[in-house]
Amino acid sequence: MLADRVVILENGRISEDGPARDVLQRPRSRFAAGLAGLNFVTGQITGHGLKAGALNLYGQHDDLPGPLPTGQPGVAVFPPSAVSVFLTEAHGSPRNSFAVAITDLEPHGDGIRVRAGKGGLLSADITTAAAADLGLTPGMQVYFVVKAGAVAIYPG
């Protein structure tokens, strides 16, 4: 928290090195994203954001100069606190709504962290009351919903 510079060692090698703010806001690996507390999705950059398999994520790249390089590898990151959980597909202003299977529910601070997707790689932070109201259980299919403004997309 007090460092000016961060070096991340992964499997005995330096995977990331730079100013703490840059490394933690724009991680280049799932490991670094985990340290920063962010969801991390890799895919191909599209005109609207990122395509990762069947998942299309809309997002922002405001602090990068010029347009993103369409067709190139890219990364999308977003905090678990920006993810809402619905039992049915959400309609309205959020651009990102995708079906996931819950893999785990765990206490996280004063709430619940909902882990979902293949290997529990995506997560949402919700209140305990919301988890109870939704009747969430491992194996259940739900929809993760994230506003495009909460998703940062950048070259991978």
Q: Cα separations (Å) of 16 from 4, 20, 23?
A: 14, 10, 7
pTM: 0.90
**Considering its fold, how many domains does the chain have in total?**
2
The H or E element containing residue 8 is strand 5-10
Same domain (yes/no): 144, 106:
yes
Range(s) of the domain holding residue 62: 37-155
Same domain (yes/no): 42, 6:
no
Tens of pLDDT, residues 16-65:
899 998 888 899 999 999 999 999 999 999 988 999 998 999 998 866 67
pLDDT at 19: 93
